[in-house]
Structure 1
Amino acid sequence: MFLKKISIVNYKNIPSQTYNFSPTINCFVGNNGVGKTNLLDAIYHLGMGKSYFTPSALHNVRHGEEFYLIDGAFQHQEREEQIVCSLKKGQKKVIKHNGKAYERLADHIGKYPMVLISPSDRDLIVEGSETRRKFLDSVISQTDREYLELLLRYNRILLQRNTLLKQMAENNTFSVETLSVYDEQLAPLGQFIYQKRKDFMEVFLPIFSYQYAYISGGKEQVGLQYDSTLHEKSLEELLVENLPRDRVTQYTTVGIHKDDLLFEIEGYPMKKYGSQGQQKSFLIALKLSQFEILKRQLGVTPIVLLDDIFDKLDDNRVAQLIQLVTQNHFGQLFVTDTHSERTEQVVKQTGLTYQLIEF
């Protein structure tokens, strides 16, 4: 699978542009702020149905305009498939596959897998557990439709339970019996999601360890652990035990919505003890492992997007990353950089055909 062509209208700072792409390597080079990353994000948007960088779809509309439209042609095996993502202010976002709109945007997930590696991925290390859970859920959801469905259901029931806890506090009333109605639905969903995450991590961890050792040359030991209160007790037990605390805080304090991924280097938190290069290597290994999992489980080679990837990596680690590409491991690759000579020197070493688009 690869993206042959993209047409963009009013997406972020792009007024109207059309690009044709190489099925192997495509490089976007130019100064910062000229739109390289926005083009990368538009490609990601086609595959994933949303921006990688902007949570609100409305904020992707170019200033002063009323809509955005992204129209792409994918080559998938022997056929060409068209995906159109559009949004008009005041209306819902629409995604069309070969001219037919999806009834639910979730139905698009997993069809055109993308893996984007960006400097903003550092949020996975420095921000709270929600950012890491979103990463975990995103990877699993692309390969497991049931997981996505039950996760959405869990979040809806969790919101209802939290709303009820708040209403009870405001009205100075408390009913264990009423809460138990939600707990009876939440507990089995939570157990299912927990087990899926646990099973996924057992497959993911060896792949991640290999990828990091390859990029770093085996210079340091890193760790990645799935942290959950459900390791010790069932969600049903935890909800009962923490009922007094939930009543005081007015929200549900335990459950899979509190899970985390622990990033470590030499047994210490990566956030505090990892250098910038080590942190970036960790994140690249994380994303390359995501690529490998998606490729194995979907039977489709994901498109890889590398945004400013060579920043803060030493020459040895860049060389290791290049070797991964030359092993014919990847399908289509998109790269952004500020230095055209450096980019061209790097991609020439792959021996693959490439296209250079200057901004």
Structure 2
Amino acid sequence: MYLKRLTAINFKSINQLDIEFDNKINCFVGNNGQGKTNMLDAIYFLSMCKSSLSSTDLQVIRHGQDFFVLQGFYSRQGVDESIYCGLKQGEGKIFKRNGKAYERLADHIGFLPVVMVSPADNELVEGSGEERRKYMNGVISQIDHIYLDEVLRYNRLLAQRNSLLKTYSRTAFSYDLIEAIDIQLAEYASVIHSKRKAFVEQLIEILQEYYNKVSGGQEKVSLSYKSHLNDTPAETLFRENIEKDRVLQYTSVGIHRDDLTLLIDGYPIRNEGSQGQQKTYLIALKLAQFDFISKVAGIKPLLLLDDIFDKLDTGRVHRLIDMVANDGFGQIFITDTNKNRLEEVLAKVTSGYRFFRVDNSEFELVESR
């Protein structure tokens, strides 16, 4: 699968864009704040139906405008596909595939798998458990539509349960109603937990391999999946904690409290890892994610590498360049502020490439092969 052409109007800093890509490697060089990341985010948006950075859709509309439009033209398993997204203030977001609107955006997730590596990934190390749950949900939902539905249904039931816990007084509390919700909640929780556990186990198998390729094999890395359901069935958890939840007025146990611990040499990388080690870990994690999606979905995701060389020593930069320049990946988009590093990538490429200069959200093709 590859993206042949992207058009954009009023997307973040981009006024108007119409750009054609090489089906292998595309490099973009420019100073910070010139629009490189916004272009990658437009590609991400067409795959995931949302921005990788902005919390709301309205935030991606260019300042002073009231709408944005994106359109991508793809080749997917030998078939041409056109994906359109449009949003106007005060109206709903529209996604279309080959001119036909999706009834549910969830049906599009995974059709054009994508993996993005960016400085924002540091939130997986420094951020709350919510960031790491979002990461698991984002990956698994690209290869399992049922999973996404299960998460949405679980969250709706959880909101109902929390509302009841806040509403009922001690004398009016309805155990029967809570129990009815808990039966459904436990069913979804068990399935979600099982799929998250299987995903983490598969990721661990390939995480070390990619970390070694970038780092030179100096440290041992892993993941630990933390969940209340690791030791106790969901229905038992909800039943045993009902009195505690009544006092707290929210649901204190369940898969909405799941977390991941990122480990280096057996310790949390948040506490023990240097900036370079953390950056290397995150790159390895995303490349392992790429491998996971490729094997399960049978299609290579688009790989978006945004400013990935910062905070890496020279050796790691060279090993990473050697890796992404080979034919093990599909279509790759790379941004950097350092022209020399991108030229080094291109010098190692045996397939086609395109090299763009970016200035004030204008994209100029400098070289292609």
Shared fold per TM-score greater than 0.5: yes
- CA distance in 1 between counterparts of 2:346 and 2:221 reads 29
Give yes or no for the alignment of 1:127 onto 2:127.
yes
**Cα deviation per residue 1:127-157 (whole Å; 9 max; x = unaligned)?**
1111001101111111111111111111110
- CA distance in 2 between counterparts of 1:78 and 1:28 reads 27
For normalisation by structure 1, the TM-score amounts to: 0.97
- CA distance in 1 between counterparts of 2:237 and 2:172 reads 22
Q: How does 1:194-273 map to 2 (within 5 A)?
A: 194-273=193-272
**Cα deviation per residue 1:16-56 (whole Å; 9 max; x = unaligned)?**
11111111111111111111100110011112111111120
- CA distance in 1 between counterparts of 2:322 and 2:224 reads 28
Segments of structure 1 that go 5 or more residues without pairing to the other structure are none
Amino acid at match of 1:92: G
- CA distance in 1 between counterparts of 2:265 and 2:251 reads 34
For normalisation by structure 2, the TM-score amounts to: 0.94
- CA distance in 1 between counterparts of 2:82 and 2:90 reads 25
Offset of 1:115 from its aligned partner?
Answer: 0.5
Partner of 1:8: 8
Give yes or no for the alignment of 1:303 onto 2:317.
no
Identity %, equivalent residues: 48
Partner of 1:29: 29
Secondary structure in structure 2 of the residue aligned to 1:7? strand
Secondary structure in structure 1 of the residue aligned to 2:106? helix
Please tell me the root mean square deviation across aligned C-alpha atoms, in Å. 1.2
Offset of 1:224 from its aligned partner?
Answer: 0.7
Offset of 1:351 from its aligned partner?
Answer: 2.7
Secondary structure in structure 2 of the residue aligned to 1:285? helix
Amino acid at match of 1:58: L
- CA distance in 1 between counterparts of 2:24 and 2:243 reads 57
- CA distance in 2 between counterparts of 1:342 and 1:318 reads 9
Give yes or no for the alignment of 1:180 onto 2:179.
yes
* Contact 1:47–1:112 (8 Å) recurs in 2: yes
Amino acid at match of 2:98: N
Secondary structure in structure 2 of the residue aligned to 1:237? helix
Segments of structure 2 that go 5 or more residues without pairing to the other structure are 359-369
**Cα deviation per residue 1:292-326 (whole Å; 9 max; x = unaligned)?**
01111111111100000110111111122122224
- CA distance in 2 between counterparts of 1:198 and 1:113 reads 21
Query: Per the alignment, do residues 22 and 221 of structure 1 end up closer, same or farther by CA in structure 2, a change over 3 Å counting?
Result: same
Partner of 1:358: 357
Partner of 1:106: 106
Length, aligned pairs only: 358
Mean CA deviation greater in 37-46 or 76-85? 76-85
* Contact 1:322–1:350 (8 Å) recurs in 2: no
Offset of 1:269 from its aligned partner?
Answer: 1.4
Secondary structure in structure 2 of the residue aligned to 1:313? coil
* Contact 1:49–1:109 (8 Å) recurs in 2: yes
* Contact 1:228–1:256 (8 Å) recurs in 2: yes
**Cα deviation per residue 1:91-112 (whole Å; 9 max; x = unaligned)?**
1111100000000000001110
Offset of 1:75 from its aligned partner?
Answer: 1.3
Structure 1 segments of 4+ aligned residues over 4 angstroms from their partners = none
- CA distance in 2 between counterparts of 1:125 and 1:42 reads 25
Secondary structure in structure 2 of the residue aligned to 1:196? helix
Offset of 1:172 from its aligned partner?
Answer: 6.3
Partner of 2:20: 20
* Contact 2:207–2:221 (8 Å) recurs in 1: no
Amino acid at match of 1:25: I
- CA distance in 2 between counterparts of 1:52 and 1:249 reads 33
- CA distance in 1 between counterparts of 2:159 and 2:210 reads 38
